[in-house]
Amino acid sequence: MYCLSPGVRARKEGFGLLFYSSKDAKMTFVKSGGLLRIDPGPRGERLLALSGEAGAEGKVVRLLDVLSRKGLIVELRSDQ
């Protein structure tokens, strides 16, 4: 499970998601279509929800890797 990093905002757009990092004032456009969405978490965090679309697992894994390397998302540990 992943959530947005502190200082990062995201919103749904026609092409997928638009991420904004207030740390460096950069925007990241993610052409994810309906593969990813942002949902509210139980403790106020913004969770990244994944589509269960068949055949899209590889694309989702690549998207998560890129977003994580850019510091836009972080993986939630099970003890949090």
Taking only the tens place, the pLDDT of each residue in 12-69 is 999 999 999 999 999 999 999 889 999 998 888 899 988 777 777 888 889 999 999 9
Report pTM: 0.85
Taking only the tens place, the pLDDT of each residue in 3-26 is 999 999 999 999 999 999 999 999
| CATH topology for the 2-73 domain | Outer Surface Protein A; domain 3 (3.90.930)
Residue with tokens 């998302």, as numbered in its chain = 73
Q: By the 8 A CB rule, do 18 and 28 touch?
A: yes
Strand pairing report for 16-21 and 46-50: unpaired
Which residues face 29 on adjacent strands? 18
Residue 35 three-state SS:
coil
